[in-house]
Structure 1
Amino acid sequence: MLNVMIVEDEKPILDLMERLVGQQPLLNVVGAFTSPITALESHEELKPDAVFLDIEMPKMGGIELADKLRMQNEELQIVFTTAYPGYAVEAFRVSAVDYLLKPVTPEALERVVARLSKIHAMRSALNPVSADKEEATVRCFGTFQTRGQDGSPMNWPTRKTEELFAYLLAYPNRLVGKWQLADLLWPDLDEDRALHNVHNTVYRLKKALKDAGVGVDLSNSNEGYHLRMSPGFSDLERFRDFMNGTAEIDERNAPEGDKLLRSHAGPLFGGKDYVWSAGLAAEISAQQAGLARMMTAYYRRSGDRAAAKEALRVYLSYAPLDEEMTGELLRLYADDGEAGPLRAQYEQHVRRMESELGIAPSQEIRKLAAKFATASTEA
């Protein structure tokens, strides 16, 4: 995993970048700054592997900051962000790894992460004593992507190979029967053909994982197959481990909870239509809501209402139809007299409910919005 620092003088864009970068399983945000001077002062302590720098900043631009950071660490990987493509030549003068045009998209960021990971892997190979060993990572939230040892996304030989891996990831470290796999993945075939497909697909899966240098152990017996992996191998297991061991958020686990809330976003396996995954996806979705609920409660107990609202906004960005959490956010806005954000959130919720479900918001939410509108008018 690479530790990264983000420097962007506009706070809304900084928050967006922190959220996008935080969703990348290979990246860990160790610092986010609106002030390039503060970022420079903090660099020596944070020791990031890479930095995302806005080029156009007051007092000290991104190019100048990159020069100064490189003086402290010549191996620092630098990625520039800007709305103006004309800076490209000057950006690469300081040996930038890449150059992102605003608004930054998840797809563009994925491309940059692949480059950062490859460079880091190459340096690790050249200096194995001082470098940490990188472990291939599987991302199951919002997408389904497996990265090989070099950090690049794997290409599966068949869709069934990918689906088989998804099932074994969903139920790891246990024996999965071969007849069970045959029924799940090829329910319309006769038993002999289905079992033949299981054997062939397992062979393809083992070969694909070995060729990519993915560190898992897939063994077989007369009864079935067993995928052994470390708890941190997939974001699904990290999320499960945290939720299974957490009854409440406090000062000790709040940082990890916040990171999981931001990075473990979206539907399981990117919403792929695996028939067997529907129940599991619903279970994970309920746990995502539970984490957002716990984080919101923790921030409210701590008196940090701004952070409570942000936790709810993060969750609703990937679960916008959750009426309970929408109502919680609207109540926070109403209690703090924030008419603009309340109106915008309510109108967005109305559009979502109408376009995706063809229904109006619940009566409770409509009453809350109407009550606040009346109070604002009377005031």
Structure 2
Amino acid sequence: MYHVILVEDEKFVLNYMVKMLKSFPEFIVEAAFSSPEEVLDSFDTLNAEVAFLDIEMPRMNGLELARKLTEKNHDLQIIFTTAYSKYAVDAFGVEAIDYLLKPINSEDILRVIKRLNKKNPEFVKAVGENSDKEELIKPYNIRCFGRFEIKDELDQIIKWPTKKAEEVFAYFLMHQGSYINKWELLDKFWPDMEEERGFHNLYNTIYRIKQVIRSLPASPGIEKINDGYVLKAEGLYSDIDNLKFVDEKDLSEGSLSGIRALCLSYNTPLFGTRDFIWSVALQENIARIYKRVCKKVIYFYRNKDDFEQAEEILRHFVKQHPESEDMMIWWFELLRNWCGREDKISEYKTWFNLKLSEMELPLL
């Protein structure tokens, strides 16, 4: 485990960060401070290996604080929390494991853990020797929940030459390993275009896609087979792939930290602001899978009598799908049989109805 300190001048953000880090078994929160002066006074008495530092603080900013702390402990590993751009942070010349743009979510923390483990292989080995449970999800570099982002081997978001190339690759990605006829692609992406010109655009688009995806892990490629194409990209995973994978698994067989983060990273609409008409039916299917996974995770926490974690998953689900009345009713039934939580039903009914009224949906 990594021993962590946090410095953040906004109390509600500090409390949020402490709660979030405590939910990950990789971290032990040693102390949390609301000012740089406090941490400097106490630092010598702490067993700190990692520091999460806010950059925008009065009197002494996080960059200056980082310099002072690393003078005291050269091995201290810094993570900045900031509203600055990456380039602005890099320009200060302070070596850091990562920077997190606010608001910070569980997916950001998972990335930090991955980077810490990469820099500290002895930690990974020690954890492996002492843990009998592995993560059930696989590392992924493609995000489809709430936005469409693909990261290359340097963890940089790839840029597409055209919106059409991005959309066509997204379609291939959702049909990875399956044969897609060129007539199907023509009908979906250039339906009103004269055939010869349409095929010219298709070939040009696929060429552009191939140029872009060369920088991706797992060496993905689009192979032409007769009158169609197949995307071959074993080892290239998205958040959707992981959701489907978890849907088929017994949660008792592995660690839940990654699954919890995956559930909390789910956002609608699928692909965010990208207007992919063909993805509407896919989004409905993913929403059904997400509901099953959330119920599975909530029930797992129910059996461990971990109400806070179960509640967090439930609230996130309802924020994304307030129209899902059956999920709310299922939660009521769970509370009725949850010793010590029966009186929560009225409280949740009020909260659910607030969400329903915001969406102008019928109340419970």
- TM-score bracket, shorter-length normalisation: 0.5 to 0.7
For the pair 1:156 / 2:152, whether they are aligned, the reply is no
Q: Which has the larger helix fraction? A: 1
Q: How does 1:323-362 map to 2 (within 5 A)?
A: 323-329=325-331, 335-338=341-344, 342=348, 345-354=351-360, 359-361=361-363
Aligned twin of 1:218: 222
Say if 1:15 and 1:172 are closer, same or farther in 2 by CA, change over 3 A. farther
1:312-347: CA deviation from partner (whole Å, max 9, x where unpaired): 012223323322333455677784535995376245
For the pair 1:278 / 2:284, whether they are aligned, the reply is no
Paired residue secondary structure (1:197): helix
Paired residue secondary structure (2:73): helix
Say if 1:273 and 1:94 are closer, same or farther in 2 by CA, change over 3 A. closer
Q: Which of 317, 322, 328 in structure 1 is aligned with 2:319? A: 317
Aligned twin of 2:191: 187
1:104-133: CA deviation from partner (whole Å, max 9, x where unpaired): 3369x99x999x9xxx7xxx9xx9x99x9x
1:330 touches 1:346 (CA, 8 Å); kept in 2?
no
Aligned twin of 2:53: 53
Structure 2 gap segments, 5+ residues each: 33-41, 125-138
Give how far 1:198 is off: 0.9
Q: Distance in 2 between matches of 1:276 and 1:291?
A: 24
Give how far 1:79 is off: 0.4
Paired residue secondary structure (2:359): helix
Say if 1:11 and 1:320 are closer, same or farther in 2 by CA, change over 3 A. farther
Paired residue secondary structure (1:79): strand
Aligned twin of 2:304: 302
Paired residue secondary structure (1:155): coil
Paired residue secondary structure (2:222): strand
Q: Distance in 2 between matches of 1:260 and 1:4?
A: 24
Paired residue secondary structure (1:200): helix
Aligned twin of 2:103: 105
Give how far 1:183 is off: 1.0
1:256-285: CA deviation from partner (whole Å, max 9, x where unpaired): 421221233333212533222111111101
TM-score between the two structures when normalised by the length of structure 2:
0.67
Say if 1:254 and 1:150 are closer, same or farther in 2 by CA, change over 3 A. closer
Give how far 1:193 is off: 2.1
1:218 touches 1:227 (CA, 8 Å); kept in 2?
yes
1:174 touches 1:226 (CA, 8 Å); kept in 2?
yes
For the pair 1:293 / 2:295, whether they are aligned, the reply is yes
Say if 1:193 and 1:296 are closer, same or farther in 2 by CA, change over 3 A. same
Deviates more, 1:163-172 or 1:65-74: 65-74
1:291-328: CA deviation from partner (whole Å, max 9, x where unpaired): 11111111112222222211201222332332233345
Q: Distance in 2 between matches of 1:99 and 1:255?
A: 21
Give how far 1:166 is off: 0.3
Paired residue secondary structure (2:252): coil
Deviates more, 1:296-305 or 1:30-39: 30-39
Give how far 1:29 is off: 8.6
Aligned twin of 1:7: 6
Aligned twin of 1:264: 266
Give how far 1:189 is off: 1.7
For the pair 1:31 / 2:27, whether they are aligned, the reply is yes
Give how far 1:290 is off: 1.0
Structure 1 gap segments, 5+ residues each: 22-27, 83-87, 366-379
Give how far 1:201 is off: 0.5
Deviates more, 1:282-291 or 1:213-222: 213-222
Give % identity: 27
State the AA in 2 paired with 1:105: P
Q: How does 1:229-248 map to 2 (within 5 A)?
A: 229-243=233-247, 245-246=248-249, 248=250
Q: Which of 171, 175, 178 in structure 1 is aligned with 2:175? A: 171
Give how far 1:81 is off: 5.5
Paired residue secondary structure (1:35): strand
| Alignment size in residue pairs | 315
State the AA in 2 paired with 1:309: E
Aligned-residue Cα RMSD (Å) equals: 4.8
2:243 touches 2:293 (CA, 8 Å); kept in 1?
no
